[in-house]
A and B are shown apart, each in its own frame.
Chain A
Amino acid sequence: MATATVAPSKLNLIGLDKSDYKGNPSTLCAGCGHDSISAQIIQVAFELGLKPENVIKLSGIGCSSKSPAYFLNRSHGLNAVHGRMPSVASGAMLANRNLIAIGVSGDGDTGSIGLGQFKHIIRRNVPMVYVIENNGVYGLTKGQFSATSDEGQKLKYYGDNEYPAVDLCMEAIVSGCGFVARSFAGDPKQVRPLLKAAFSFKGTAVLDIISPCVTFNNNPDSNKSYEWVRDHDSPLHDISFVPVREEITVDYEPGETKAVTMHDGASLVLKKLAGEHDPTDRMAAIMLLERSRTENVLTTGLIYYNPDRDTVQDSEGMVATSLALLPDEKLRPARSTLEKIVAGLC
């Protein structure tokens, strides 16, 4: 992302240092892809000038779900029960619609136990960045297959996986998600702009980030391993996310780019590398994923984008202010109203 001009100051737009976005030291295995994603979340929150006190970070259970403790210490965090982060995030965003939510989940958390909640949070379009750190394996319980494990994959202890993988991007698209992207933890240059774009999206933004498990699922045969991804990665676009507060100087040629305007006026610029893909075309997005599956390639980039859906707060007709902060007089109707109701029941 050397294309955008960044002020030389060490402080960001709201006067914070990058260290203000840090979390606790990670307790994940050395070299875990999840830590790389945490680093990008820190970098992106810093670069966007997000006020950490306005951010909530949520997760379910699993290795991935530990990671919110490793970034944004000045944000409230919540480590929910397994697979149920979406419902907790939904409740929090109903309580206070002015928060910025980022959820981190894994393939077990989202693809198995939490698949229902994953699809329903998307259906309601709860505004949040939903990151799936997808390694195709259950790490914390020592390496069982997950729902995103490749069909035919072999594990030393558990043998062959007989079942087809769940494609979480496909699940997101068919559930009505308006922001569906896939990336690779080892490609921070792509993860960062996608994260930035996701933070600007008004609705549920799903990022399925392949994040290799260095301990249990990093043999060259696995399509969630570093080696496999490096050999098979087929980036969809070279993506530069340019917040409106910065000067836009992106290296692109007209006719080779597609600009997508985000809710806050920011613009996502997609540089097409591998053929024509229109991310606003839902059918094209589905076909792209299907083609990737049959061709055994990992298509990364912004797969689908549709900013037109209402968020849950708008669908519910809620006030613009936070429900959590309503004054008592908005919480309790006047005495006279009760007298009227009582009279009607007599």
Chain B
Amino acid sequence: MSVTQSKVADILAGGNLGEVVNDFSLQIASANGSGSQTSNMVLVRALFRMGIPVSGKNLFPSNIQGLPTWYTIRCSRAGYVARQPSAPVVVLMNPETAVKDLAGLESGGVCFYPDDLKIDLSRQDVTYYPMPVKQLTSVPEVPRHLRTYIGNMVYVGVLAQVLKIEMSALEAALDWQFGGRTKLVNANLPTIKAAYEWAAANITKRDQYRVERMNATAGYMLVDGNAAGGLGSVYGGMTVTAWYPITPSTSLADEMSSFASSLRRDPDGKANYAIVQAEDELAAIGMVLGAGWAGARSMTTTSGPGISLMQEFLGFGYYAEIPAVIWDIQRVGPSTGMPTRVSQGDLFICYYASHGDTKHICLLPGSVNECFEFGWRSLDIAEQYQTPVFVLSDLDLGMNQWMTKPFEYPTEPINRGKVLTAEQVEKQGFRRYADIDGDGIAYRTLPGTNHPRASYFTRGSGHDADARYTEEPEKYRENLERLRRKIEHSREHLPAPVIEMTAGAKIGIIGFGSTDPAIMEARDTLTASGVKTSYLRMRALPSAASVADFVRSHERVYVVEINADGQLRQILQSDMPELAARLRPVCMLDGMPFTAAWIIGQINSQEQK
């Protein structure tokens, strides 16, 4: 039971109504396109500026204007940033959903609403705070055409007063949000202040939720995974990106463009890179492979439907051995699914992409920091292994705001892989697909290499060690086996799993990606209830030997993942068939980020069987 739940229990039991400080979630319901995002971001950053661990999650529709959106802000003195099952404080800015939003509010909760909202407010177990949104924005200082938008600043001011968010923190957050543009700050700040003062004069606080300054965010940044991935790629030396717009990956390309534009230009303004919007995902991956073949550090960013379209080319890249990086910001499938909701459902289609026998290297960032790190590292791995490399992020990690330690400058020099120069070709000869070093990775040359024997013919059809066309069974098989050796070799050279072993734990948990905060929180609660767990967070496929060792060390291992079939569990089971029975599913797909409570419930109920 969470702290919030225990408070509610207190209230229902007629117990002492204590204060809840820095440990609750707040949900703002609005219509998308109404401008509420700015207000929400200001609130998140203000809490962050007050030193309170905070996370913001946007549950938004696939729509431009008018459909319901919910923004959830969690502050947690313990530093938990996963979603909570419900929020005890709600702001009803969307009349369309207000009835349902109020009905879903937990007993003892708090409801802020515009005072002209015409819904039944007869529930007696919640605290109501009406807000004079129209009144405070129907003033000459607020231009008529901006009143709906600026109306969102009213709840910022009222919430600040009631929840005790510091005005100075709000001002700093607003300034940050508008990049210091005074005109925009001045258009919004007076309304926030007016609402803040109105609430001071007119509201008597009758609820138990508030925040207070802490010192737990010093040395942290607040940023989303897509910006981190884009920035990491810029520091990784990305030279060619081809992409096609698709939610939720678009912001990675946008952020990368913006960073590259300031960081990767010559003094004369010429770009040391090209970021091209392709006509579709087929062309995007085609350009990426063409560029990788010709020696660029090339990449694309997409989501599930794009990955589906890229399949044929991905097999080509695998078989012809061309470096490429493919970011997949996962969303809910199959088909169009729920484009604006989170999933981890693309493991199969990435790991086994394309027809025939393939296995692709997949990196699995579990934090915004790792999005940055894998941004540069993936380009090294792709060139090192001369193969398409996937980075599987997801909508929650990619598009939401996460507290994160500062990005660490790349710790390793750029790795361009085994590329022969003309001099090397002259000296040692060149056989494109020959396994000279025994690691399955052959040497390549780039087009333009100034040597008559540097060229080779790249093809997706059968070829021998000298890149000649062949249909000879033995040569075909030899080449496929070398490819398998190459990918096998990567197992112990990819980002290693992060392992936390607990002495005496019979239960292990395996997870990856954005579920990390929920798993960490779940483990704390399980430990408090006497259930010891160890935890392994995968950061790459194919899996390292330490994953099998971890499974071997525990009687039961729960594999936590946001998909319906347990895709990671199945991949691990085929990797370690002798241990398959120990792997248990904790998987579900409904578009929502996991909560610690749900993971705990799943593990407890399976443990009781």
B223 within 8 A of A: yes
Instruction: Mark A57-86 against chain B: 1 for CB-CB distance below 8 A, else 0.
Output: 010000000001100011111111100101
Instruction: Mark B294-334 against chain A: 1 for CB-CB distance below 8 A, else 0.
Output: 11111000000000000011001000100000000000000
Instruction: Mark A263-296 against chain B: 1 for CB-CB distance below 8 A, else 0.
Output: 0000000000000000000000000000000000
A297 within 8 A of B: no
**Nearest-neighbor residue (CB-CB) of B240 within chain A:** A94
A331 near B448 with CB under 8 A, answer: no
A87 near B290 with CB under 8 A, answer: yes
A120 near B283 with CB under 8 A, answer: yes
Instruction: Mark B239-254 against chain A: 1 for CB-CB distance below 8 A, else 0.
Output: 1101000000000000
Instruction: Mark B421-464 against chain A: 1 for CB-CB distance below 8 A, else 0.
Output: 00000000000000000000000011111111011111111000
Question: For the complex, what is the distance from the CA of A118 to the CA of B213, rounded to whole Å?
Answer: 60
A317 within 8 A of B: yes
Interface residues of A in 75-115 (CB under 8 A from B): 75-81, 84, 86-96, 98-99
Residues of B within 8 A of A58 (CB): 290
B264 within 8 A of A: yes
Contact A91/B448 with A116-B280, A342-B407 known, Cβ cut-off 8 Å: no
A30 within 8 A of B: no
Interface centre among B234, B270, B459 (most CB of A within 10 A): B459
B291 within 8 A of A: yes
Residues of B within 8 A of A94 (CB): 240, 242, 274, 276, 287, 290-291, 296
A219 shortest CB reach to chain B, Å: 30
B294 near A324 with CB under 8 A, answer: yes
Question: For the complex, what is the distance from the CA of A20 to the CA of B453, rounded to whole Å?
Answer: 11
Kindly identify which residue among A74, A313, A324, A345 contacts B223, using a CB–CB cutoff of 8 Å.
Answer: A345
**Nearest-neighbor residue (CB-CB) of B315 within chain A:** A81
B residues contacting the other copy or chain, number (CB 8 A): 73
Contact A91/B295 with A53-B450, A84-B283, A319-B270 known, Cβ cut-off 8 Å: no
A320 near B316 with CB under 8 A, answer: no
Residues of B within 8 A of A312 (CB): 276
Kindly identify which residue among B263, B271, B457 contacts A317, using a CB–CB cutoff of 8 Å.
Answer: B271
Residues of A within 8 A of B288 (CB): 91
Contact A326/B448 with A81-B313, A116-B280 known, Cβ cut-off 8 Å: no
B414 near A332 with CB under 8 A, answer: yes
A156 within 8 A of B: no
B390 within 8 A of A: no
B460 near A331 with CB under 8 A, answer: no
Question: For the complex, what is the distance from the CA of A346 to the CA of B237, rounded to whole Å?
Answer: 24
B460 near A79 with CB under 8 A, answer: yes
B220 within 8 A of A: yes
B266 near A319 with CB under 8 A, answer: yes
Question: For the complex, what is the distance from the CA of A71 to the CA of B375, rounded to whole Å?
Answer: 40
Residues of B within 8 A of A333 (CB): 234-235, 263-264
B112 within 8 A of A: no
A80 near B264 with CB under 8 A, answer: no
Interface centre among B271, B275, B455 (most CB of A within 10 A): B455
Question: For the complex, what is the distance from the CA of A93 to the CA of B469, rounded to whole Å?
Answer: 25
Residues of B within 8 A of A56 (CB): 294, 447
Interface centre among A73, A81, A323 (most CB of B within 10 A): A323
B356 within 8 A of A: no
**Nearest-neighbor residue (CB-CB) of A88 within chain B:** B290
Kindly identify which residue among A20, A69, A335 contacts B457, using a CB–CB cutoff of 8 Å.
Answer: A69
B90 within 8 A of A: no
B296 near A91 with CB under 8 A, answer: yes
Kindly identify which residue among A91, A124, A313 contacts B290, using a CB–CB cutoff of 8 Å.
Answer: A91
A215 within 8 A of B: no
Interface residues of B in 353-386 (CB under 8 A from A): 376
19 further A-B contacts with Cβ under 8 Å, apart from A79-B458, A81-B313, A318-B272, are A53-B449, A73-B455, A74-B455, A77-B459, A81-B316, A86-B286, A87-B282, A87-B285, A91-B288, A93-B294, A94-B240, A96-B295, A116-B280, A316-B275, A324-B296, A330-B264, A331-B297, A338-B235, A345-B406
> 9 A-B Cβ contacts within 8 A?
A53-B448, A53-B452, A84-B283, A91-B292, A318-B270, A324-B239, A324-B294, A332-B237, A346-B221
Residues of B within 8 A of A (CB): 219-223, 231, 234-237, 239-240, 242, 259, 263-264, 266, 269-276, 278-280, 282-298, 312-313, 316, 320, 376, 406-407, 409-410, 413-414, 445-452, 454-461, 469
Residues of A within 8 A of B (CB): 20, 52-54, 56, 58, 68-69, 73-81, 84, 86-96, 98-99, 116-117, 120, 124, 312-313, 316-320, 322-326, 328, 330-333, 335, 337-338, 341-342, 345-346
Listed from nearest, the 6 A-B pairs whose CB atoms lie closest are A91-B290, A87-B286, A324-B295, A331-B237, A95-B296, A88-B290
